[in-house]
Chain A
């Protein structure tokens, strides 16, 4: 192997990456390794925690609910997010600036704050119920908070920017000439959208859906605050088992299952995710 001006020597490279390597080994891989070990060894090899997860209907329910909420939230984010991404590409500067600003505000407000805001909106004497009360829409305050609907609504809100940005990137990459060509060849605006813009935006749609779903199934903050005992998701159950019920091996098993599912999803869908060119799209 010759020496190239382009590359640093292996010795220098290894020195540069050494702090990161140390950090990842000690601060990331070790705790997670310990987590997995704890789920399996108690102190001997023991699959009882895993059996509990897949045999007890309570936990199966949780898994099903988590997947269901993940799918619903992803679909809702797609339906609501695509128009926003499209609006961000429109040439008239006012519309796309407003849309971009709205996405910016939603994306960079801390998740905790946004979840708290949903409590403010949906609680028994919260904003929505108050307005309904003033306008006499309903006789008594509705139970909005701590329902599955509330969790879906709040999570859709939190995850929408992660759907919008990949779609925006895909739309923006479509050369304006294709639209002109389609128009010149006789397509009206609707046909142009349906046959040219939509198909070419699909890589972004897939990337957004994948990201949204993966984030949704692992979400803790929003379901913990906005959800209730009847809306347990994987993450909330894990938290409960670890800190309240103190059944650490079980919590570790649940966490390992979630981790495994996440990793599998990422591996299977890594092609769609590689479309998303990382942080250039965000912010």
Chain B
């Protein structure tokens, strides 16, 4: 540092006293208000679509009407009483549950193999197993359609199951692999040292600790199937139609508030499931 006498320490190096003293707090207050306004607008934009369908579903008018004229549950009743809607709903539910089960089993086993295993091509398989998340659903959907259609396999339960399991497995893989990697490996070494065999070690020590991760993966798999619209669109037909395909068709040809009612139910299911997961995650605070 220079040897010159330091006049600097008498006052701050930048003389901010030249700025008008009053303007500063007002300027920052104004900036804060504007920022708050902009942020609120963006947040409103984020939730607006989800929120707007709820009053539509409860509106007495038969056409899309806003503001709603009166409250009624008739669109929900119509949904529950309509055989087509119910068929689609149960079809989707069955597939989602089956997908959840199969994806969880296949995914958990594979996750263990990928994290703990040692075999050639491990990294390649890892990348490949995440591929369904990367490939656009339209490509996969059309590819499946081109395979199923000639074989009359559209609308088939097992066709759907395979398709959705492929789409859901990456989610299970990610969550279970993360849980396995977070798991403190020295616990396993301690168990081995205490005399447990490899299998018992896994069942008594590892599995209980990764169970929440597996459960969360199962829920992700369920939603990945239940909410999925693109692939389901292409492999549905009159014999087996997913709820998303039916929604798609009705939006094009039969736009009534029943769709809003169905939408509200779908949103409620998704948000409730994810909120439960969030709650479980927070409580465990992994």
Contacts and interface: CB of A to CB of B under 8 A. Distances in A.
B50 A20 contact: no
Contacts of B128: 24, 29
A102 B47 contact: yes
Given A10-B119, A20-B110, A23-B165, A126 B64 contact: yes
Given A23-B106, A35-B139, A248-B146, A10 B118 contact: yes
5 pairs of A and B residues whose beta carbons are closest in the complex: A13-B117, A218-B136, A16-B113, A117-B49, A20-B110
Contacts of B227: 110-112
B60 interface: no
B247 A116 contact: yes
Nearest to A7: B118
Given A34-B147, A120-B260, A27 B165 contact: yes
Interface in B154-210: 162-163, 165-166, 169, 171, 174-175, 178, 185, 188-189, 192, 198
Given A7-B118, A13-B118, A35-B142, A105 B50 contact: yes
Contact of B43 (A34, A99, A109, A161): A99
Interface size class of A (residues with CB under 8 A): 35 or more
Nearest to A103: B46
Interface in A4-40: 4-10, 12-17, 19-21, 23-24, 26-32, 34-35, 38
B137 interface: yes
A220 B244 contact: no
B33 interface: no
A190 B45 CA distance: 26
A114 B229 CA distance: 12
A169 B142 CA distance: 34
Interface of A: 4-10, 12-17, 19-21, 23-24, 26-32, 34-35, 38, 80, 83-84, 87, 95, 98-99, 102-106, 108-114, 116-121, 123, 125-127, 130-131, 157, 160-161, 186, 189, 214, 217-221, 224-225, 234-235, 238-239, 242-243, 248, 251-252, 255-256, 258-259, 262-263, 266, 278-280, 283
A5 B267 CA distance: 46
Given A17-B125, A112-B244, A218-B139, A266 B134 contact: yes
Contact of B171 (A109, A119, A279): A279
Given A19-B109, A109-B50, A218 B132 contact: no
Given A5-B192, A8-B116, A114 B49 contact: yes
B73 interface: no
Summarize A's interface: helix, strand, loop or mixed: helix
A83 B136 contact: no
Interface of B: 14, 28, 35, 38-39, 42-43, 45-50, 52-53, 56, 63-67, 105-107, 109-110, 112-114, 116-120, 122, 125, 128-129, 131-132, 134-147, 162-163, 165-166, 169, 171, 174-175, 178, 185, 188-189, 192, 198, 220, 223, 227, 229-230, 233-234, 244, 247-248, 251, 255, 259-260, 263, 266-267, 270-271, 274-275, 277-278
Contacts of A110: 227, 229, 244, 263, 266-267, 270
Nearest to A256: B139
A131 B132 contact: no
A109 B268 CA distance: 8
Contacts of A119: 251, 255
B259 A17 contact: no
Nearest to B259: A116
B119 A225 contact: no
B117 A242 contact: no
29 contacts: A7-B118, A10-B120, A15-B113, A16-B109, A17-B113, A20-B113, A20-B125, A34-B146, A35-B139, A35-B146, A84-B39, A99-B43, A105-B46, A109-B50, A116-B53, A119-B251, A120-B260, A121-B52, A130-B66, A186-B14, A221-B230, A224-B248, A239-B138, A252-B143, A255-B139, A256-B139, A262-B134, A279-B171, A283-B277
Given A23-B169, A121-B48, A279 B116 contact: no
Given A8-B113, A20-B107, A111 B189 contact: no
A234 B142 CA distance: 13
Contacts of A263: 134
Most chain B CB atoms below 10 A, which of A35, A95, A186, A283: A283
Contacts of A280: 178
Contacts of A105: 46-47, 50, 271
B136 A262 contact: yes
A123 B50 CA distance: 16
Most A-side CB within 10 Å, residue of B38, B46, B114, B146: B46
